Amino acid sequence: MGEILLHQLLEKSASQHADRVAVVEPNVGEASYAELNRLADTICETLRAKGVGEGDRVGIHLAKSIASLASIFGILKCGAAYVPVDSKAPAARNGFIFTDCAVRFVISRSPEGTGLDASQAVSQPFGSDDEFLADLLLVPGASDKPTDEIDVPARLAYILYTSGSTGKPKGVMLTHSNAFAFVDWCSEAFTPNKEDRFSSHAPFHFDLSILDIYLPLKHGARMVLIGEDAGRQPKTLASLISDERISVWYSTPSILRLLLEVKDIDSYDHSSLRIVFFAGEVFPIKHLRALIDLWPEPDYFNLYGPTETNVCTYYEVPTPLPEERTEPVPIGTVCSGDTAIVMDEQDAEVPPAAEGELYVTGPSVTSGYWNLPERNAIAFHTDAAGTKWYKTGDVVRQDDEGNYIYVSRRDRMIKRHGYRVELGEIEAALYGHDSITEAAVVAIPDQDGGLIVKAFISWIGEDRPSIIKLKRFCVENLPAYMIPDRFSVQPELPKTSTDKIDYQRLKEME
Amino acid sequence: MTETVESIKATLKEYVLNEFLPGEDPEDLEDDTPLITGGIMDSISTIKFSLFVEEKYGVELQAHELSADYIDTLTAMATIIQSKLGE
């Protein structure tokens, strides 16, 4: 190990399973392993001819497609790292990212959305006769930025930008071996085979895509691309799972909940499913229970890990769920060869079963953020033995079986009337209401220097929600100091481009 | 102007709706809706309420009166204020 690189997974599968379908883009086409590898070679050769090589970065500004998948592998084959962005994000944000990490080029279909100089775009760089690559453009990066002083790990594979609390996205640098630590662990834990058909629901700029891309292609299995639009249409997803005979599903809980809302969901044939992975946010237990009722057969796994760690803990959900469980399922035990500890605010390990912040170290963990030395100094803790731990910002505790229980984001714990309040606990209580399908609680500063706790809910009850009744429900389920001050009823809660509830936007809502 | 239980109740209703139930349909707040035991007012809210009452009516509520036993509903609130006005 350590010898093999991510794109060599594709090359190996292309030699072993040349004619098997590697990837399907529903309603567009499909590519065999040989063809996907050829497309990636075409991209690699063109980039190389333009001087791209080891130590460079290339942006991907494309909707999810066979072309964007081939771009990933083409960039890796050149020895460069890929930087995927949300193709629908504002040009200014994308421009910030591409300039920040000094890409040599961006592969795009709409150069004005890259935030770079669109007039410099090179058309048909990969030739004009290829059905998948014909309309791609290469936009040169703003290359005046010196990167020599930036501490870049060897064999950087990709940079994923996550939204920073400062408002500026920060680039998480991940190497080939970071990805392999997770992907190889998945191979052992879930034993995929070449008959499997994996959903690829997450956008490529979201870290869930690492499993979606590399695990199926490593095993000669099939990857079914789900675009951003189809990905949010529950009926389309329900049909796609049966039409494509998906066997391994992976998405955020928000998306799985949407599926549950499809009217005649139990009339679809979803018998092909054997594994359901979810990650990225807490799965409200009532929705998980409903999902398991709908699909009793597959194995369910909760995968946990900030982008900085890939996936660092996992939990196999027992099915059926024990009736008495009212809390979300644990995030489980460490995986990907990582090690975790629970620490207090003075960087000392907490007693067993006590709450504290989860620190993680190991082969799947990033070496740091692109060009943010101050941030890197805060985000990691180096212990007396010299081990560097990533501080997840997530508060956890361990249960009797050794599973980590997710408690809260560290920044989602507030003090209210002297009490410590976990906003997630209020949400969990609200989900206990039969008519509440989504709940998100935020704390907003008031004029007096205190905090207003505001609950956003989406409501399916026949009667209109009354705040008085909601508060009475809270009294029955929460201590008085945890009852939200304000309620706001929405048709649906806003989501991020990675299909999680968008807390930032909620905080800005009236 | 002489304050009656009814006129006090109307004033308090407006106050409670504005302060503690923004966005609520006024019809849902009834004279006997439990405010403290119903999770609408907490300890901080009752203190705010007592300051409002003092300002508005010149009536002082004792600490022990700021509890569900005395002021859990609009009716109860208005009754205690009215009785103190008559003293």
DSSP SS3 for A128: coil
DSSP characters for A283-315? --HHHHHHHHHH--SSEEEEEE--GGGSS-EEE
pLDDT in tens, A433-459: 999 999 999 999 888 777 899 999 999
Any bridge partners for residue A368, and if so which?
A173
Return d(Cα A341, Cα B79) in angstroms, integer.
Answer: 58
Contact B28 A488 (CB under 8 A): no
Residue B30, H or E segment: none
Between the two ends of chain A, the Cα-to-Cα distance in Å is: 53
The pLDDT-based confidence of A264 (bands split at 50, 70, 90) is: very high
Taking the Cβ of residue B68 and every Cβ of chain A, the question of whether any pair is shorter than 8 Å is answered with no
Average pLDDT over residues A50-62: 96
Which among B24, B37, B42 has CB closest to A466? B24
What is the CATH code for B5-85? 1.10.1200.10
Return d(Cα A141, Cα A94) in angstroms, integer.
Answer: 12
Cut 0.80: pTM above it: yes
Encode burial over A81-120: b for 16+ CB neighbours within 10 A, e otherwise: bbbbbbbebebebbbbbbbbbbbbbbbbebbebbbbeeee
Taking the Cβ of residue B39 and every Cβ of chain A, the question of whether any pair is shorter than 8 Å is answered with yes
pLDDT in tens, A343-401: 999 999 999 999 999 999 999 999 999 999 999 999 999 999 999 999 999 999 999 99
Chain A partners within 8 Å of B43 (Cβ): 417, 480
Query: Which pLDDT value is given to residue A164?
Result: 63
Q: Which two tokens stand for residue A17?
A: 């399973």
Query: Which pLDDT value is given to residue A146?
Result: 66
Neighbours of A475 (CB within 10 A): 17
Interface mutation vs chain B, best among A426, A467, A487, A488, most B CBs within 10 Å: A467
Range from A363-367, A420-424, A473-477 carrying the lowest mean pLDDT: A420-424
Interface of A with B (CB under 8 A): 417, 464, 466-469, 471-472, 474-475, 480-481, 483, 485-488
Highest mean pLDDT, choosing among A168-182, A443-457, B44-58: A168-182
The torsion of the CA quartet A365, A368, A370, A372, rounded to 10 degrees, works out to 150
Chain A partners within 8 Å of B28 (Cβ): 466-469
pLDDT above 70: residue A272:
yes
Taking the Cβ of residue B23 and every Cβ of chain A, the question of whether any pair is shorter than 8 Å is answered with yes
Average pLDDT over residues A186-205: 97
**Cβ partners under 8 Å of residue A323, min gap 6:** none
Average pLDDT over residues B63-76: 92
Q: What beta strand segments (E) does A62-136 contain? A: 81-84, 105-108, 122-123
Range from A188-197, A237-246, A359-368, B33-42 carrying the lowest mean pLDDT: B33-42
**Cβ partners under 8 Å of residue A26, min gap 6:** A224, A225, A226, A230, A240, A243, A244
Q: Which two tokens stand for residue A465?
A: 């929600």
What's the count of helices (H) and strands (E) in chain B, helices before strands? 4, 0
Query: Which pLDDT value is given to residue A1?
Result: 46
Average pLDDT over residues A55-83: 97
Are A421 and A453 in contact, with CB atoms under 8 Å apart?
A: yes
The pLDDT-based confidence of A3 (bands split at 50, 70, 90) is: low
Query: Which pLDDT value is given to residue A2?
Result: 47
pLDDT above 70: residue B73:
yes
Q: Could you tell me which residue, A464 or A191, shows the higher pLDDT?
A: A191
Considering only CA atoms, which of A308, A280, A304, A59 is closest in space to residue A172? A308
Are A148 and A359 in contact, with CB atoms under 8 Å apart?
A: no
Average pLDDT over residues A54-79: 97
Considering only CA atoms, which of A103, A41, A110 is closest in space to residue A78? A41
Nearest CA in chain B to A416: B44
Phi, psi of A229 (to 5 degrees): -75, -50
Edge-first strand listing for the sheet containing A368-369: A122-123, A137-140, A105-108, A57-61, A81-84, A156-162, A170-175, A368-369
Return d(Cα A186, Cα A217) in angstroms, integer.
Answer: 13
Are A216 and A270 in contact, with CB atoms under 8 Å apart?
A: no
Considering only CA atoms, which of A448, A444, A449, A447 is closest in space to residue A484? A444
Are A334 and A309 in contact, with CB atoms under 8 Å apart?
A: no
Return d(Cα A79, Cα A96) in angstroms, integer.
Answer: 23
Taking the Cβ of residue B25 and every Cβ of chain A, the question of whether any pair is shorter than 8 Å is answered with yes
Neighbours of A496 (CB within 10 A): 18
Return d(Cα A333, Cα A352) in angstroms, integer.
Answer: 15
Query: Which pLDDT value is given to residue A128?
Result: 86
Are A494 and A463 in contact, with CB atoms under 8 Å apart?
A: no
Return d(Cα A230, Cα A279) in angstroms, integer.
Answer: 19
Any bridge partners for residue A453, and if so which?
A443
Are A161 and A168 in contact, with CB atoms under 8 Å apart?
A: no
Range from A18-32, A388-402, A473-487 carrying the lowest mean pLDDT: A473-487
Which among B23, B39, B43 has CB closest to A472? B39
Q: Is A314 left (phi over 0), alpha (psi -120 to 50) or beta?
A: beta
Characterize the bridge pairing of strands A299-304 and A275-279.
parallel
Considering only CA atoms, which of B83, B71, B57, B59 is closest in space to residue B16? B71
- Hunting for tokens 């929405």 — which residue is that? A490
Q: Which two tokens stand for residue A448?
A: 């007096």
Contact A486 B38 (CB under 8 A): no
Query: Which pLDDT value is given to residue A113?
Result: 96
DSSP SS3 for A68: helix
Taking the Cβ of residue B21 and every Cβ of chain A, the question of whether any pair is shorter than 8 Å is answered with yes
The torsion of the CA quartet A478, A480, A482, A485, rounded to 10 degrees, works out to 120
Average pLDDT, chain A: 93
Q: How far is B65 from chain A (nearest CA, A)?
A: 19
Enumerate the H helices of A314-422 as residue ranges: 373-379
Query: Which pLDDT value is given to residue A10?
Result: 98
Are A109 and A62 in contact, with CB atoms under 8 Å apart?
A: yes
Domain annotation for chain A: domains and CATH numbers: 6-14+29-175 (3.40.50.12780), 338-409 (2.30.38.10), 424-509 (3.30.300.30)
Q: Could you tell me which residue, A409 or A287, shows the higher pLDDT?
A: A287
DSSP SS3 for A154: coil
pLDDT above 90: residue A20:
yes
Average pLDDT over residues A205-220: 97
Q: What percent of chain A has pLDDT above 90?
A: 80
Query: Which pLDDT value is given to residue A480?
Result: 84
| Predicted ipTM beyond 0.95 | no
Query: Which pLDDT value is given to residue A368?
Result: 96
Average pLDDT over residues A49-75: 97
The pLDDT-based confidence of A145 (bands split at 50, 70, 90) is: low
Query: Which pLDDT value is given to residue A152?
Result: 85
Query: Which pLDDT value is given to residue A166?
Result: 60
